[in-house]
Structure 1
């Protein structure tokens, strides 16, 4: 990559609050590489949004994300990434993910949004393709409220923490080969009186049991 004309040291955008999230941006020619580490949850959303937004504004062509250091990632972080992607599109810029951790990649894969942050997505040109990407971004952002409601259902039903409820949603989604937002809708509908499919019920119970036995998750940890 071309040598940066601005600085040889990473510029830190998210130093306002001590905590598990850290970001560092390094200008690289017309683009900026942003390294993100730590837990990406509801508490980190504003800080993450400010850091990435600042990096995008200062980059002429866009930003490239390195998410290898992300240890936890939920829908609040996805919402930040999707909003950033839409903002970049309106400015004629791009946002790509160069590398990701299993936690970040799992979320993007389950929600069907991974392609929006790959180089292949940016090779497409024309107003039609741009409009299609904007529609996909907005649709993905609209699924978050349902996922949050489903998470609340699991928390209330099984006494789970927000992070544990997220782990259950992810496990059941993978084990039943069901998209995350569709599984969430089933759980919300079940609360309203529509029975949950037997196979899904079994998977939810099994996931909660495995979580309890393994001690995975952090009781009291809040996210979205």
Structure 2
């Protein structure tokens, strides 16, 4: 079992939470708590960098859905960055790929776009599923 590793990087107007390891029943609370804390403190866009995720199951996906709901309730834009194939496949299989804004990891380097979660992606950001 891979332990979950979370790191946060704060900048003006956004926070990037980098996730490494497995997203499952055992790690769900840790991810949810960390992201909710960031949403409460950030007052800007929250980006979850999933590039280090090695495994995700239904509980991990449920965590992402709960985080998305929490962000929406707090009017906080939420982006998923660098989602590996295992995450993209699960999002696609569950038809949730259109519910999340997924960007490439390199797009987290600059200031994130400021737009509501329900808006279609800006032209500068093409969802990974379309690439």
TM-score by length of 1: 0.44
Which protein is richer in strand relative to its size? 2
1:115 Cα deviation from its structure 2 partner: 2.1
Aligned partner of 2:46 in structure 1 is 63
Q: Are residue 124 (structure 1) and residue 107 (structure 2) matched?
A: no
Match of 1:49 among 14, 32, 38: 32
**Distance in 2 between residues matched to 1:29 and 1:85, nearest whole Å:** 21
- Structure with higher Rg: it is 1
Deviations 1:113-147 (A, max 9, x none): 1222216973629xxxxxxxxxxxxxxxxxxxxxx
- The one of the two structures with greater contact order (alpha-carbon pairs below 8 A, sep at least 6) is 2
Equivalent residues of 1:30, 1:62 under 8 A apart: yes
CA distance in 1, matches of 2:26, 2:85: 21
Point out where structure 1 has 5 or more consecutive residues left out of the alignment.
Answer: 1-18, 126-224
What are the within-5 Å matches in structure 2 for residues 139-150 of structure 1?
none
> Partner residue of 1:192?
none
Compute the displacement of 1:59 (Å). 1.1
Question: Displacement of 1:103 after TM fit?
Answer: 1.3
- Number of aligned pairs? 107
Residue 66 of structure 1 deviates from its aligned partner by 0.9
Task: Provide the secondary structure at the position in 1 that maps to 2:21.
Answer: strand
TM-score normalised by structure 2 residue count: 0.73
The verdict on how the C-alpha distance between 1:50 and 1:123 changes in structure 2, with shifts beyond 3 A counting, is closer
Gaps of 5+ in 2: 103-114, 121-131
Instruction: Report runs of 4+ in structure 1 exceeding 2 Å deviation.
Output: 119-125
Query: d(CA) in 1 for partners of 2:44 and 2:89?
Result: 27
